[in-house]
A and B are shown apart, each in its own frame.
Chain A
């Protein structure tokens, strides 16, 4: 297995693939008069193409556009304000994934609230938050549940555990997102032109290859599910451009060792059991109907939004253009705040905070100045 994994980052294979991409990309340019524009849907892909240097090496051959697949980046500012407000309550412990706590709301971050003495803890899994609740029976423990389909089943596991063990002081504040509605919105509105998709490796483990067939059938756009190592990324890009050259929109699973056609039925069942569709607000985009999941009515006792309602006003507009970045309309460098007012030390928008954020990837991996 280790040998197989090593092959995924083999520089010799990567260099051969790079040459092949240059060749097909140039053929594409000759045929269609422009570079092929591929969107990496997933934030981890955005990070990986920047970190490995793939994005730089493909400049002037392939246009790589960052997509909306970073859960932190798409979390609405109002949701962050609500989470901070939630932490202000008496006798409360807020548990969160790490990268959420530095994302700015209207005025403050969860980190600021933590510095002010609020009990905000970083956990590595929602199940750990349930354990915190068990260890602190006299306090209300709230887990901030954000994420795409990769994370939602794990949120469900925590809800299941709290429900079955009757842990009355645990609840979850959920604002999750689904991949399909946002891809449909991007394609329907056509603000950004995408020729093909690099489909998310992690999300696809849950959803399966067949889930994406609508892209090929309804929109005539090809997509390749790929992993995160250089060889996997380059192979995915190469295959997508070949599909474009041949004008055969298909969905290819290039991550077959972990992604199945039907995905992970057990994870899907967990999602169906505990969650139902909800209208979710996406940062910089607005509310998209049925674009996320929230806790089902029968598990309302675990829903922090109902247990601890908070009132939040409309946030003030800033010059932050994260909304356009996650829709692939602009590159991070085109935002006037990028690397000036907005840096990882002093982030204005979530794309600069998140470990999967497009601005953070550009700041960390693309600059030489």
Chain B
């Protein structure tokens, strides 16, 4: 019989203990930090970085990853792009009664592998099991803790002429998920770009003291992320349409469905705003890294239009890019 999660796995008793030992401890280890109800952490730095995120995704397994890998990489990236070094993660699971044990094990294994890769320790966790129909299979929350040194302190003042760099192609995760849902009839081998970016951000920050800000353009995509930076820091940016790196299969899927790659989610891409004089240096460092080998400059900070993001079109005209409005819906024809 296929083992399934039952409500009893969430009651704190024997089954709950077995779940923790068999699945979570087996994957994440029982670090010294985790012997009390709260994890006691050794943090030497003056400044801590904390970030939390909840992950709900359909399907739970997709080409290039699963919800577990995403839950680790997503929070690691939020810490890393803040200029901090991620050290610890906490994990909360909400499981639906009936969820398959083997699927949970696969998800948790992926989390352990990604955590190891990102050099972070999973030190505290929680599991709840809810009745069938209350959640969609599995929801995961991760909280990350990292340290910041004064040298890596971001953001710095964004100025006219600064370059906008992206670490690779745009929209891969968004299309991979749409395609994995199997609703589109799209046959694409495209994988999600889901990955932890902290090694890349360390290399970048070590190479230049003129990095102004970094972001990972997840939900809402590159456009929404940059609009937020423009608004928060009251600067204007211009992206160059012909410089945007987009895979043909992403472009094709967007054409068919009437979606915009600039608004599709990415889960392993990095946006870097850096002073023009350090652009080449940062690009070179990024290209040496597996996750940044396709890094390219896609735009610049401009003088006019504070708070706004523009797209310089291939044919010469210019248009404003706003943040994503609601969900992107597939069109009729």
Contacts and interface: CB of A to CB of B under 8 A. Distances in A.
A316 interface: no
B326 A53 contact: no
Interface residues of A, number: 45
Contact of B330 (A56, A124, A150, A368): A124
B248 interface: yes
A367 B320 CA distance: 6
Interface in B180-234: 183-185
Contacts of B317: 53, 56-57
B46 interface: no
B138 to A, nearest CB: 22
Nearest to B333: A150
A286 interface: no
Interface in B282-333: 305, 308, 310, 313-320, 322, 325-326, 329-333
Contacts of A14: 314-315
Given A125-B185, A355-B258, A367-B320, A101 B315 contact: no
Interface string A352-366: 001110000000111
B14 interface: no
A147 B331 CA distance: 11
Interface in A135-180: 146-148, 150-151
B242 interface: yes
Contacts, number: 91
B332 A72 contact: yes
Interface residues of B, number: 26
Contacts of A2: 248
Nearest to B252: A5
A75 B305 CA distance: 38
Task: Give the one of B305, B326, B329 with max A CB within 10 A.
Answer: B329
Interface string A45-65: 001000011101100000000
Nearest to B323: A345
Contact of B333 (A57, A128, A147, A343): A147
A52 B315 contact: yes
B329 A355 contact: yes
Interface in B233-269: 242, 248, 257-258
Contacts of A57: 315-317
Nearest to B248: A2
A100 B184 CA distance: 17
Contact of A151 (B308, B318, B326, B332): B332
B77 to A, nearest CB: 27
Given A101-B329, A356-B331, 16 more contacts: A2-B248, A11-B314, A11-B315, A52-B315, A53-B315, A54-B315, A97-B330, A98-B331, A123-B183, A124-B257, A147-B332, A230-B314, A345-B325, A354-B331, A355-B329, A367-B319
15 contacts: A2-B248, A15-B316, A52-B315, A53-B318, A54-B315, A99-B329, A99-B330, A102-B326, A122-B329, A124-B330, A128-B183, A148-B333, A344-B325, A354-B331, A368-B308
The 10 closest A-B pairs by CB, nearest first: A98-B329, A53-B317, A355-B331, A344-B325, A53-B313, A150-B333, A355-B258, A98-B330, A56-B317, A11-B314
Interface of A: 2, 9, 11, 14-15, 18, 44, 47, 52-54, 56-57, 71-72, 97-102, 122-125, 128, 146-148, 150-151, 202, 230, 343-345, 354-356, 364-369
